[in-house]
Amino acid sequence: MSKSFKAGVAYYPEQWDKTLWKDDAIRMKKSGIEMIRIMEFAWCLIEPVEGKFDFSLFDEVVDIFSREGIKVVLGTPTATIPYWLFKKDPSCVQINSKGLPKQWGGRRSVCVNNPTFIEATIRLLNAIADHYKDNTNIIGWQLDNEIGHEGSDRCFCKNCQQKWNLWLQNKYGSIDNLNKTWGTIFWGTTYHSFDIPLPLETYGAAHNPSMLLDYSRFMSDSFVNYLNIQHDILRGKINKNQWIATDVFMPSLSNNIDIKQLTSLHDFIGLNNYPVWGDQDEPLPYYFTTLNMLYLKGLKDKPHFTVFEQFSSMQGHNCLGYLPPEKQVISWTDKAVAFGAERLFYFRWRTAPFGQEQLCYGILNNDNSDTDLLKAISNNFIEKKEVYDRIASSSSIKPKSCIAYHKDSIRILSHQYETKALYYAMNDYLQVGFEFEFTRWYAPFSIFQIPVDIKPIEDLNLSDYKIISLPFYLLCDVEFVKKLEDWVKSGGVLILSWRTGIRNKDNIAINLKLPGYFSKLAGINIDRFESLNNTKTHIKIGLFRFKVEAWADILNPVTAKVIARYSDKKKHYNGSAAISVNNSGKGKVYYIGTSLSTIGLLFLYHKIFRKEKMKPKFYGEGIESIDYLDKNNKTFKVIINNSNKNKRAFGKKLTPYSIKIKE
């Protein structure tokens, strides 16, 4: 663990005149920037001809910057390939879901299952590693760039086809086993061999959902394997002071790739943090950005992570949008550090004068003068050094609450979304309906200042927690349910959502009343439900009436107590139970059969948190907090005001976009 917070920038020396480099280094140093990340996308420079390596440019950069006291992080430049590699094997580009080839020239267009690409990667990584492994100015490595982004998490090329069939054979052993698991008898698609076509987008009718689930897992494994090749080469050679990580784009929960597996061998989690990007007219909700950091942080048992790309100036490919005021940019930095960034690289030092990111602005002005933003950033580092270092050198205080998620259930919901509320296509390749719904299950913890972990269920150490919220656990493992039962009996409080427990691990519908294995634990069963899609209805909790949306489970309480009932005369299930709580041993199980809008959420969770003596605090929208234990074993709380208004929280006054420490 670093003992202090370190700031850096993404730096692309190859895009600017080399006469600027030294001055850049000096200005960075002056501004509190201590690291640069370089070499991303520069494969064509370091291997201009197949097998001939030339590190002179980056050697010179490392040399110049090191002299000024700037350390260097190297990005392995595999997100785009050199022209000669494309010419050598034009079939290396991905095939999209309609069967049409992507084109060389954009990034992330090459297939990780292509043998030519893999072979070239291995040679490249060996060469880079050999060259820089003992360079003490190189402090670490970022593998590739935003793996799986921009729809690159799926491919339908011939190599994928081949590996897909092998993958299936490996997994299922016999074709009967596959047929049974997928239920191919449905629509009579029983296979006789593993020679199974990749699930190209079909026209009219859909693909077998279990095939799609396996396709998602297969693609994930392909990327994990590919990145592990890079990892293993580096790890085998580099000195132990150099770390290895990758930069994960946001949001990535509904991506085919399992980020936990992707990063399992890495020293820490790296992420890119863009609270606003492209043509957005306002930033993402602040808790959406936080949730993204907490989810990624939750993949490792460490309090800190690295932000490889932190929004500084406006960014977009073809279109721009919201211009944040400087203090909001600073606030986003504060927040990243508060939630665990021990290293943070602003994106980017200087705007590229050409190329696809001409509209991705840096922190220098066009005329190479300092922006006001750079001055603000620099002042901020001086002003907050102590705070940032203290956070970076502290350990976390384990929350008593956790929100757990299940990757395979998310995968299924990305296809069979069941309600339009779980469908939101940001563009051709990002269906992030789940991500937005998931924030609804996070928001109460955020707004009531209840510290919370976000964990995949396989990493869940039950005994750590008092409350576990487990929304959308569709594909259930009966063993895990048993563990939850024991944990509840011993005092745990479990919160379940609609659609819990509808299938087994293999995506086969459960032959029990819903919520399946959870039925007894939740003290209810469910025969009927309605998809509300984008319509709304109402529930009543006590005397108060709240809007709900997305879904309506109609609960039959068995041992559970009803907390909320539908309240809508237009619905034939008016008066039926919507939310319940069941006592089990010393614990409780809440079942929330619908999605509440904000006020309802606050009302419901306030009750829950108070009942569990979690001391919910309400300071209105915009306030977030997180607790640390410093190296002197002193606890402290970091409080952030995300809003442009003056706020009061935990007895502190917070001006707009400010941060405060409470001892």
DSSP class per residue in 500-528: TT-EETTSPBPSSSBTGGGHHHHTEEEEE
User: Is the distance from CB of 64 to CB of 22 less than 8 angstroms?
Assistant: yes
Q: Is 84 in the site for a copy of itself (CB under 8 A)?
A: yes
Nearest distance, CB of residue 379 and a copy of itself, angstroms? 17
The minimum distance between CB 276 and a copy of itself, in angstroms, equals 11
Binding mask 547-576 toward a copy of itself (x if CB under 8 A, else -) reads -----x-------------------xx---
Residues 573 to 632 in contact with a copy of itself, rule: CB under 8 A? 573
**171 makes contact with a copy of itself (CB under 8 A):** no
Distance in angstroms between the alpha carbons of the first and the last residue of the chain:
22
- Specify the residue, 99 or 585, whose C-beta has the smaller distance to a copy of itself: 99
CB 410 within 8 A of CB 258: no
- Select the residue interacting with a copy of itself from 3, 19, 52, 192 (CB under 8 A): 192
91, 136, 358, 635: which one binds a copy of itself (CB under 8 A): 358
Burial of 103 (0-12, 13-18, 19+ CB in 10 A): exposed
According to DSSP H, which parts of 321-371 are helical? 326-338
Is 110 within 8 Å of 144 (Cβ atoms)? no
Binding-site size for a copy of itself (CB under 8 A) equals 118
Shortest approach of a copy of itself to residue 252 CB, angstroms? Answer: 15
Q: E strand or H helix at 214, and its extent?
A: helix 209-237
Query: Which of 378, 419, 439, 641 forms a contact with a copy of itself (CB under 8 A)?
Result: 419
Asked if 87 is part of the footprint of a copy of itself (rule: CB under 8 A), the reply reads: yes
Of the candidates 471, 391, 482, 385, the one whose C-alpha atom is nearest the C-alpha of residue 435 is 471
Location of structure tokens 């690291």: 35
C-alpha span between 393 and 256 (Å, rounded): 34
CB of 155 to a copy of itself, least distance (A): 11
According to CB under 8 A, which residues from 259 to 288 bind a copy of itself? 279, 281
Q: 6 - beta bridge partners?
A: 343
Planar angle of CA 69, 71, 73, nearest 5 degrees: 165
Which of these segments, 134-142, 242-250, 409-417, 435-443, binds a copy of itself (CB under 8 A)?
409-417
Identity of the residue, 358 or 559, whose beta carbon is nearer to a copy of itself in the bound complex? 358
To which residue do tokens 């998602």 refer? 216
Q: Which residues pair with 93 in a beta bridge?
A: 110
User: If binding is defined by CB under 8 A, does position 50 make contact with a copy of itself?
Assistant: no
**Measured from the CB atom, is 536 or 586 closer to a copy of itself?**
536
- Binding string, 121-150, against a copy of itself, x = CB under 8 A? ----------------------------xx
Q: Which of 508, 562, 629, 661 binds a copy of itself (CB under 8 A)?
A: 508
Residue span 194-223 as binding mask against a copy of itself, x where in contact by CB under 8 A, dash where not: -x-x-xx-xxxxxxxxxx------------
The amino acid sitting at 452 is V
CA 10, 13, 14, 17 dihedral sign is positive
- Interface with a copy of itself, residue 51, by CB under 8 A: no
For 563, the token pair is 């907390």
Q: Which of residues 517-536 bind a copy of itself (CB under 8 A)?
A: 527-535
Tokens 């084109």, residue? 103
